[in-house]
Structure 1
Amino acid sequence: MFFDKDRIRDSLTLDDIKKILINELGSNEPNKDNQGNLIFQTVCHAGEKHKLYYYEDSKQFHCYTDCGDSFDIFELVIRAKKHQGETFSFPKAVKYVARLTGKTFGTGFPSNQQNNEIITDWEWINKFEKKEKINIELPEYDERLLDVLLPYPHINWIEEGISYETQKKFEIGYYMREERIAIVHRDIKGRFIGLRGRATRQEDIDNGKKYMPVTINGKLLNHPTMMNFFGIDKTKEAIKRLKKAAIFEAEKSVLKCEDFYGENNFSVACCGSNVSTFQRDILLSLGVEEVFICLDKFRDKKPDETGEEYEEKIIDYQEKLLNIARMFSPYVRSYIIWDFEGLLDFKDSPVDKGKEVLEELMRNKIEVNTLGVE
């Protein structure tokens, strides 16, 4: 049987999540924040602090310490098991969660059909209706907190080709106390929902703290990144007009696209390497007809990896990109940007080598439909 990962993930209850994390992955009983979200120990990297948040609405976790990343239950299992000395592929993680929770929904032909759901044509069509409303609003921070930032674009980013005008438009500043480039995050309505800092100290970068939420006056200005796209408040009009959206990993890519394309900039950043169904629905609500998955090029081979192990990692990464594209493909035309010709360095964003290279990559894009790759 082929397990239906989306149906399994979406059907998980809070009790299921607690069962997996406490009984299997080593977390203690979770805490709760003031909105009722569960906060587990950071089993994703074998940490002990309760900084791993689970957001039931989006079925996503977010680690607010070393990982600084968002992921679903399957990716969490893969990460946690790695630190327990076990290697889990994505299919193995799906099967693992299915067996633990009894959510064995599948796409194979079961031998006994008496208790199976019957899906009518109308129900199938309704399943893929475009989303029109986003009902969940993240908490809004006081705009006055931004007054402590130096309102000056950073020279490092200007040297990378991000203009003064673009940095000013996207409210890029500098937080002297933490020596970080300050990046204001706003939701689709323009509400101030978070502040991320890009480290300028090499020590922070080497310690895995390249991008972190900023703390001002003792208040951590964080937000679940998988419930918003950076830049969506500035680029939504182009996205609606052109009916296209390009999803990059980091905020800088959106800024570079702004300098490339100005009012035709239809890019957003997911601020990680995962895209949630909540983020998908944000773009669908804008009436997009085409989505381009533009995540960073995969890393170089590590010294301690065999060629076979490295190839397996590349295949895992390709499958990850396919899974993101498949989230969109029932609704819109979905594409993956992949560097077939070696135009990028390892871990580069598709924008990092300039506009011409980006457009060459776009010409060689891969289309992913509901059945597979075209």
Structure 2
Amino acid sequence: MDISVLKEKILENNYVPVILDEIGCHHISCKAGYVQCGNPDGDNQGAITVYLNEGLLTVDYTREIHSSSNLDTIDIFDLVQFFCSCTFYEAVRKVCNWCGINYYKDEYNDLPESLKFTKFISEMADDESSYEEMQPLKPIKENVLSYYFPAVNDFFLRDNISYSTQMLFEIGYDDVSNRITIPVRDEMGTLVGVKGRLFLKQEEMTEEEQRVKYIYLERCNRARILYGLYLSEKYIARTGYVYVVEAEKGVMQLWNMGIKNCVATCGKKISQYQINMLTRLSSHIIFCFDKDVTIDELNDIAYKFLDCIQISAIVDTENLLEEKESPTDNPDKFKQLIAKYTQVIKNGK
């Protein structure tokens, strides 16, 4: 669910007092256009003000609270993060549970047909949006994974993904399609898809097999996924920066190196939805895309982020990587690339 949509639901149903009560705030008082209360650990009965606007902008006059949106303002989710000592998406999960909101409810399907058409035209007219990105993620049942063998493999082992790391990411095998299976979980840890990698060596594949080397056995909207985020969010919060790779395998390779503050965009194309998610996660983003991504493409990506976000990227100017080699394939090369070939694409303000 878009965070903006979640905020709309909170406003429509007057859930702000519920959230403040769950945090432990006291003397909650609803005013015209805002709600006031005291901090859970303070005596000032008017220490917090939550404005009942679309941003649910929040002011705490007696506490210094960091904005997870990397703006100068904080919102009610920042308040939950602060007092519950949790990450952003943990705060979202708590709010949904407290308010009885279904995070996966398809708001688009609830609209009247006339409004659906208007919304579709409006969003398609926006150059930054696409029909694909509009499609919500839909949870799939966990027992789907029982259709596949929970088996580690030597293909990934040779690519520097240990058996234990494969087990952590629930790697399996589908004997029907002869594919390694990669479960895809969203930021909440909910199963939303399964990707399959053909169980053949690259040199053994026909041209057609190479074209479909990776396919979704259980489809999901990759434009709304940052692969690995449900595991890595706390490490991103701890370090203050995030490595962004293209492929799911890259996340596993970094975890195998002990680098856990990382996510994958599941392709070199990055959606506005993913940009919004990354902006919530960190003010310093380091892209570790394959070498076929040009500096112009990296500049285009950086331009889409808020000015306050620092964007860096690995740029292999000395051809350290081979033609088909990803930055994370070789641990020693990755360390060299980070140390010597990381360029600042955009300074955060």
Alignment TM-score, normalising by the size of structure 2: 0.59
Q: Contact conserved, 1:248 with 1:268, CA < 8 A, in 2?
A: yes
Q: How does 1:133-148 map to 2 (within 5 A)?
A: 138-148=137-147
**Structure 1 253/55 Cα, relative in aligned 2: closer, same or farther at 3 Å?**
farther
Match of 1:356 in 2: 332
**Structure 1 61/348 Cα, relative in aligned 2: closer, same or farther at 3 Å?**
farther
Counterpart of 1:285 in structure 2: which amino acid?
R
Match of 1:367 in 2: 344
2:267 matches 1:290: no
Match of 2:253 in 1: 256
Q: How does 1:191-202 map to 2 (within 5 A)?
A: 191-201=190-200, 202=205
Counterpart of 2:236 in structure 1: which amino acid?
I
1:146 deviation in Å? 0.8
The higher radius of gyration belongs to: 2
Counterpart of 1:139 in structure 2: which amino acid?
K
Q: Contact conserved, 1:326 with 1:370, CA < 8 A, in 2?
A: no
2:222 matches 1:225: yes
Q: How does 1:27-106 map to 2 (within 5 A)?
A: 59-60=129-130, 62=132
Match of 2:84 in 1: none
1:325 deviation in Å? 2.1
Match of 2:236 in 1: 239
Q: Secondary structure at the residue paired with 1:328?
A: coil
Q: Contact conserved, 1:173 with 1:182, CA < 8 A, in 2?
A: yes
- CA offsets, 1:230-258, max 9 Å, x none? 11111111111111111111111111101
Structure 1: gaps spanning 5 or more residues: 1-32, 37-53, 63-69, 73-135, 215-220, 299-313
Over 6 Å off, 4+ runs: 54-58
**Structure 1 328/205 Cα, relative in aligned 2: closer, same or farther at 3 Å?**
farther
CA distance in 2, matches of 1:280, 1:138: 17
Q: Secondary structure at the residue paired with 1:182?
A: strand
Counterpart of 1:237 in structure 2: which amino acid?
K
Q: Contact conserved, 1:295 with 1:350, CA < 8 A, in 2?
A: yes
CA distance in 2, matches of 1:251, 1:181: 13
CA distance in 1, matches of 2:270, 2:286: 12
Q: How does 1:291-310 map to 2 (within 5 A)?
A: 291-298=285-292
Counterpart of 2:159 in structure 1: which amino acid?
E
CA distance in 1, matches of 2:208, 2:197: 9
2:275 matches 1:280: yes
1:347 deviation in Å? 3.2
- CA offsets, 1:235-285, max 9 Å, x none? 111111111111111111111101101xx4111111111111211111222
CA distance in 2, matches of 1:233, 1:211: 22
CA distance in 2, matches of 1:166, 1:205: 30
CA distance in 2, matches of 1:278, 1:338: 25
In the comparison of the two structures, how many residue pairs are matched? 225
1:59 deviation in Å? 1.2
1:327 deviation in Å? 2.3
Structure 2: gaps spanning 5 or more residues: 1-105, 110-123
